[in-house]
Amino acid sequence: MYTIYSVVIVAFFALMSPYLVYQALRYRKYVSSLPQRLGYLPVSFNLDGDESIWIHAVSVGEVLTARALLPDLRQRYPRLRIFLSTTTMTGQEIARNNLQFVDAVFYFPFDFAFIVNRTLRLVRPRIFIMMETEIWPNLLRACRRAGVKTMLANGRISSRSYPRYRLARRFFEPVLRDVDRFCMQSDESARRIVDIGAEPARVTVTGSLKFDSLEGPFDSPQGLAQGRPAGPAGDLAGRNRVLRYFRIRPERPVVMAASTRKGEEGFVLEAFQRIRATLPGALLIIAPRKPEQWDEVERLARRGGWRVARRSELPVDGEPRQDIVLLDTVGEL
């Protein structure tokens, strides 16, 4: 089964290689991160070979959710280093700049046995924590063989993905046996993970960590060094700092298009055109999902005759006078 899985991954990379090369040439994506994805971490990463806790968070949302775990992990396991991996560049940026208690950040390795084994030798985890639904068969099997405890935190199985998981139940059942603990967001997600092969005794409903991680992206070591307090007070300071760029009159309608995918912005602008027909002063704040969309979305809006400003260009303590604000920052949404 694992051999078939690895062959499928190779076939997938072969099929996607033209797109990946295009992304690398145009946006410089994947180039600098390739050695780490192949399991070659910097020499200084874990120079003394200390044991660790390895947390994997795919992108920005999972990274910000992982914040809820960090203080308790640091307090409970003071002798273990905490390493965090991400898949996306934006997740990497947030993790490097806005997380306390993390000793180092790196890119998640490709899920081939020889690569994940190399990464495990360097990271030396005693515990591997996957945020939400990150199930990587070769890595989980390697963890089990190395005696590394594994946990799925803030787990969820959506109604959309559940039928696909059920179709592949015979594949997932042995993979899920390699996970020591499933901490699921809801009773329904717990039922679904059991239905696709998890042992019921290993499944716990913990609720959503997102409610425990609402600290604000500015409650960081840099913020603390600048005198901003931690916890709720730091959160308030962070929010107020962002809101100083949006001094919007209470009577002005604001439309938010959050985390838009490529191609969706045209529909957003059409809908906003209809809104402006009845609410002429309305403001649209649009936040593309990926940074490489920023320039394209700005061009699209300007071609439509809209006055556009980027969030990074807004004056402090002023109301945006434009029709559209493009959120070209990470972690403020």
Query: Containing domain of residue 318, as a range?
Result: 247-326
State both tokens at 35. 């050695």
> What pLDDT sits at residue 229?
42
Active-site hit among 51, 62, 173, 215: 62
Find the CATH number of the domain harbouring 256.
3.40.50.2000
- Rounded CA-CA distance 281/137 in Å is 52
| Residue 228, in any domain of the structure | no
Question: Which of these three, 190, 212, 234, is where a domain ends?
Answer: 212
| Residue 220, in any domain of the structure | no
| Residue 230, in any domain of the structure | no
- Rounded CA-CA distance 179/313 in Å is 46
> What pLDDT sits at residue 214?
58
Within this chain, do residues 180 and 299 fall inside the same structural domain, yes or no?
no
The whole model's pTM is what? 0.75
| Residue 316, in any domain of the structure | yes
State both tokens at 36. 């780490």
Within this chain, do residues 3 and 105 fall inside the same structural domain, yes or no?
no
- Rounded CA-CA distance 317/333 in Å is 18
> What pLDDT sits at residue 230?
44
Q: Residue 99 CB: number of other CB atoms within 10 A?
A: 22
Within this chain, do residues 207 and 128 fall inside the same structural domain, yes or no?
yes
Within this chain, do residues 170 and 37 fall inside the same structural domain, yes or no?
yes
Within this chain, do residues 189 and 269 fall inside the same structural domain, yes or no?
no
Within this chain, do residues 83 and 175 fall inside the same structural domain, yes or no?
yes
Nearest to 52, CA basis, from 106, 14, 109:
106
5 φψ region: left (φ > 0), alpha (ψ -120 to 50), beta (else): alpha
The amino acid that residue 323 corresponds to is D
> What pLDDT sits at residue 21?
80
Nearest to 100, CA basis, from 125, 72, 120, 127:
72
Number of domains in the chain: 3
Within this chain, do residues 206 and 288 fall inside the same structural domain, yes or no?
no
Measured CA distances, 74 to 102, 140, 276 (Å): 9, 23, 50
Within this chain, do residues 322 and 204 fall inside the same structural domain, yes or no?
no
> What pLDDT sits at residue 216?
47
> What pLDDT sits at residue 213?
66
| Residue 207, in any domain of the structure | yes
Within this chain, do residues 10 and 51 fall inside the same structural domain, yes or no?
no
Walk along the chain (333 residues) and give the pLDDT tens digit of each residue: 788 888 888 898 888 888 878 877 776 777 889 999 999 999 889 999 999 999 999 998 899 899 999 999 999 999 999 999 999 988 998 899 888 899 999 999 999 999 999 999 999 999 999 999 889 999 999 999 999 999 999 999 999 999 999 999 999 999 999 999 999 999 999 999 999 999 999 999 999 987 776 554 444 444 434 444 444 444 545 556 666 778 888 899 999 999 899 999 999 999 999 999 999 999 999 999 888 899 999 999 999 999 999 998 988 888 899 999 999 887 677
Instruction: State how beta strands 181-184 and 203-205 pair.
Output: parallel
62 a catalytic residue: yes
Find the CATH number of the domain harbouring 114.
3.40.50.11720
Within this chain, do residues 165 and 61 fall inside the same structural domain, yes or no?
yes
Q: Which own/partner contact pairs does 304-307 have at CB distance under 8 Å and 24+ positions apart?
A: 304/269, 304/273, 306/269
- Rounded CA-CA distance 218/75 in Å is 21
Torsions phi, psi of 291, nearest 5? -60, -30
Within this chain, do residues 156 and 83 fall inside the same structural domain, yes or no?
yes
Nearest to 204, CA basis, from 137, 134, 133, 153:
153
| Residue 231, in any domain of the structure | no
Within this chain, do residues 266 and 122 fall inside the same structural domain, yes or no?
no
Per the CB < 8 A criterion, the answer to whether 330 and 290 are in contact is no
| Residue 233, in any domain of the structure | no
- Rounded CA-CA distance 80/77 in Å is 6
Is 200 exposed, middle or buried (CB count within 10 Å of its CB: 0-12, 13-18, 19+)?
Answer: exposed
| Residue 251, in any domain of the structure | yes
